[in-house]
Amino acid sequence: MKPAPFEYEAPSSVEEALRLLADPAIETSLLAGGQSLVPALNMRLARPERLVDLGRIEGLDAIRDENGALCIGAMATKRSIERSALVAQKQPLLHEATGHIAHPQIRNRGTLGGSMAHADPAAEYPAVAVALDAEFRVIGPSGERRIAAADFFVTYLTTALAEDEILLEVTFPERPAGEGVGFAEICRRHGDFAMAGAAATARLEAGRYQDARIVLFGVDATPVRALSQEERLRGEVPSEALHAEVAAAIGAGLEEPPGDQHASPEFRRQLARTVSKRALEAAVARAAKA
Ligand X SMILES: Cc1cc2nc3c(=O)[nH]c(=O)nc-3n(C[C@H](O)[C@H](O)[C@H](O)COP(=O)(O)OP(=O)(O)OC[C@H]3O[C@@H](n4cnc5c(N)ncnc54)[C@H](O)[C@@H]3O)c2cc1C
Q: Which is nearer to ligand X, 101 or 200 (CB)?
A: 101
Q: Which is nearer to ligand X, 189 or 289 (CB)?
A: 189
Phi-psi region of 170 (alpha: psi -120 to 50; beta: other; left: phi over 0): beta
**How much of the chain is helix, strand and coil, in % rounded to 5?**
35, 25, 35
Residue choice 136, 152, 183, 193 for contact with ligand X (CB under 6 A): 193
Binding of ligand X at residue 123 (CB under 6 A)? Answer: yes
Binding of ligand X at residue 251 (CB under 6 A)? Answer: no
List of E strands, the chain: 7-9, 28-31, 50-53, 63-66, 69-73, 135-140, 143-148, 153-155, 158-159, 166-172, 180-186, 196-205, 208-217, 224-225
Binding of ligand X at residue 226 (CB under 6 A)? Answer: no
Give the footprint of ligand X on residues 90-119 (CB under 6 A).
101-102, 106, 110-111, 113-115, 117-118
The DSSP H or E segment spanning 79 is helix 78-83
Binding of ligand X at residue 57 (CB under 6 A)? Answer: no
Q: Which is nearer to ligand X, 113 or 251 (CB)?
A: 113
The residues pairing with 198 across neighbouring beta strands, listed in sequence order, are 184, 216
Q: Which is nearer to ligand X, 106 or 244 (CB)?
A: 106
Q: Which is nearer to ligand X, 31 or 263 (CB)?
A: 31
Binding of ligand X at residue 147 (CB under 6 A)? Answer: no
For the chain, how far is it from start to end, CA to CA, in angstroms? 52
Instruction: List residues binding ligand X (CB under 6 A).
Output: 29-37, 39, 54, 74, 101-102, 106, 110-111, 113-115, 117-118, 120, 123-125, 161, 166-167, 193
